[in-house]
Amino acid sequence: MVMNKLLENVEESKFIHHRAGRIDVFPKMPTHVDQIALSATSVTYTIPTDARWLIFSPQAGIEFAVKADADAVYPAAAITDGSGSLLNPAQLDVSGLTSLGIISNESGFLSIAVYG
């Protein structure tokens, strides 16, 4: 079921499978794209209710961190208790989430393509 839904979002159901196990998929152009202004303070991004996958595209030179349903923290030291924020994700399955905390190393913009 998940693979069928994924293939619906892949142009002509084509993908590239690499020997290392990575699979690159080529999604259709999204009909919903948000632009988030980033800073050193966590901002809350409310995930659209029909969203399943998000694809992130930061402005050149911008690094960012995200955390599910909580404020993100840009790391200043090692975090080894599992509470860290995820750095620079390319894409995420956001099933069951309502928001993301997003923070950056500097001011800039982040495009978020939304797929249902």
Q: Please check whether residues 73 and 96 belong to one and the same domain.
A: yes
Domain total for the chain? 2
What count of other Cβ atoms lies within 10 Å of the Cβ of residue 61? 8
pTM greater than the 0.85 cutoff: no
Q: Please check whether residues 9 and 57 belong to one and the same domain.
A: no
Q: Please check whether residues 13 and 64 belong to one and the same domain.
A: no
Residue range 90-101, pLDDT digits in tens: 999 999 999 999
Q: State the pLDDT at residue 23.
A: 65
**Nearest residue to 102 via CA among 64, 60, 49:** 64
Residue range 4-36, pLDDT digits in tens: 555 555 544 455 556 666 666 667 888 899 999
- Domain range for 10: 1-28
Residue range 41-64, pLDDT digits in tens: 999 999 999 999 999 999 999 999
Q: State the pLDDT at residue 4.
A: 54
Q: Please check whether residues 101 and 75 belong to one and the same domain.
A: yes
**Nearest residue to 99 via CA among 39, 40, 34:** 34
CATH of the domain at 73: 2.60.120
Give the sign of the dihedral formed by CA 104, CA 9, CA 52, CA 84. negative
